[in-house]
Amino acid sequence: MAVLSVTETFADEGNPLQTKPLANPADSLRNKELSKIRKTIRGLDRTQDDYIEPQHYEFTVMMQATRTFENFVLSSNGQSITLAPDGLTKIGPFFGWRWFFFGWTFDIKNIGFKSSGLRQEFDLSIYSSQIGVDLYYRRTGNDYKIRDAKLGYGIDGDLFEGIPFAGVNVGITGVSAYYIFNHEHFSYPAAFSQSTCQKISCGSWMAGAGYTNNTLDLDYTALVETLEKRMPVGQEVKVDSGMMFNSIKYNDFMLSGGYAYNWVFAKNFLFCASGQVAMSYKTSYGKTADEKRGFDIGKFNPDFIGRFGLVYNNTRWYAGVSAILRTNNYRTSRFTANNMYGSLNAYIGYNFMLKKKYRKQKRDEKNYL
């Protein structure tokens, strides 16, 4: 294959005639485009140093313990059943580079690679100064227990507390993104990815959008049989027909808004509280009885996302606790299903490999001394 080389002829006193390559216009355009992309990416972390101390290091390692919790409430015509699994405690290492954290945690009660019947969870959060992105995948296991049951007058709900019930499965797969308006003064990463340090207390409004795909499976026959086993002799349990379904699948489109505040109450210490309310439009697919087709105002449901964090960070070492809480509500004319889940994290980490800017700054300080 022939390669076309464009040259320019010029002369000087030592060499009367020589040539040098001209810049390829295509290469020049490509470099400009790359420059714009780099500028945009760097702009995502643009902050004011008076308020936020940037990350000094390229990489971090962290050990984290996570306690997960979940609560599921199914209700119809005055009846309600609350189910929840026992909480899981997981522990594992993480590795971080700039915006990204990668890691693996394992259930300390079920160490191994077999996952049959166990909950499956995957969460990835990306925090930059301007935007945040959450990716999540959850599949409940078969370890639910009945925590409360309100089945009508004369039936004692305490009879059913703690009964194992493997006939419900909830699946959520989704992505959400949000924009932080006051990103030059307020740092979300300082509270939840420990990649910056907030110097002065400050808050910010946020707005976002997201999508989730949801599945809800219920073995209605098994539920009735489980409840009847605890009923007194001669007394019959009657579960409302609104709960008589096997499977529901629905898509969830949401717009969210909220506020977050970082409180710097001592040097290197930070407490953050954040809340977002999401207005979600939920439309089912497959066979779901009594659901109206087409647009319906009744398909709008409010959801909530809350984040809380307490952090100590001196730029080299950091430690803290954080909590994330989400709700996912589904309502039809027949029944409502409210799912609340979240996690409590405790961690300690170490940053290493100074960035070029701070290595130079450190050398200059040594030379000055």
pLDDT tens digits, one per residue of 331-363: 877 788 888 988 899 999 999 988 888 777 767
The answer on pLDDT for 223 being more than 50 is yes
Collapsing DSSP to helix, strand or coil, 238 comes out as coil
Is 179 exposed, middle or buried, given 0-12, 13-18 or 19+ CB atoms closer than 10 A? middle
Burial of 351 (0-12, 13-18, 19+ CB in 10 A): buried
Predicted local confidence at residue 113, as pLDDT: 46
Whether the per-residue pLDDT at 366 is higher than 80: the answer is no
CB 343 within 8 A of CB 323: yes
Residue range(s) defining the domain that contains residue 226? 65-368
| CB 96 within 8 Å of CB 127 | no
**161 in a structural domain:** yes
User: Could you give the number of structural domains in the chain?
Assistant: 1
What pLDDT does 268 receive? 93
Query: How many Cα atoms within 13 Å fall on the side-chain side of residue 27?
Result: 6
Distance CA 185, CA 283 (A): 39
Check whether 7 has a pLDDT greater than 50.
no
Is 45 within the bounds of a domain? no
Average pLDDT of span 75-91 = 87
At residue 38, φ and ψ (nearest 5 deg) are: -60, -40
**261: in domain:** yes
Mean pLDDT over 51-67 rounds to 90
How much is the pLDDT for 61? 92
Highest mean pLDDT among 117-126, 170-179, 256-265: 256-265
Does 283 reside within a domain?
yes
Residue 153 lies in a domain: yes
Burial 221-240 (b: 16+ CB within 10 A, else e): eebbebbeeeeeeeeebebb
pLDDT computed for residue 351 by the predictor = 92
pLDDT of residue 278: 92
Query: Residue 291's CB: how many other CB atoms inside 10 A?
Result: 17
Pick the more confident residue, 123 or 29: 123
Q: Is residue 163 part of a domain?
A: yes
Grouping H, G, I as helix, E, B as strand and the rest as coil, residue 368 is: helix
* pLDDT tens-digit readout, 88-97: 888 988 888 7
Share of the chain above pLDDT 90, in %: 26
Q: Stretch 218-240: mean pLDDT, rounded?
A: 83
pLDDT in tens, 117-165: 556 677 777 777 888 888 888 877 667 889 888 888 778 888 888 899 8
Work out the mean pLDDT of the chain and round it to a whole number: 79
Least confident of 69-83, 198-212, 238-252: 238-252
CA 149 to chain centre: 31
Whether 246 maps to a domain, the answer reads: yes
103 burial (CB, 10 Å; 0-12 / 13-18 / 19+) is middle
With 60 as the cut, is the pLDDT of residue 43 above it?
A: no
Residue 12: predicted pLDDT: 46
**Looking at residue 150, what is its pLDDT?**
87
Q: What is the pLDDT of residues 288-298, one digit of tens each?
A: 545 555 556 66
Q: Which residues pair with 170 in a beta bridge?
A: 216
Residue 341 lies in a domain: yes
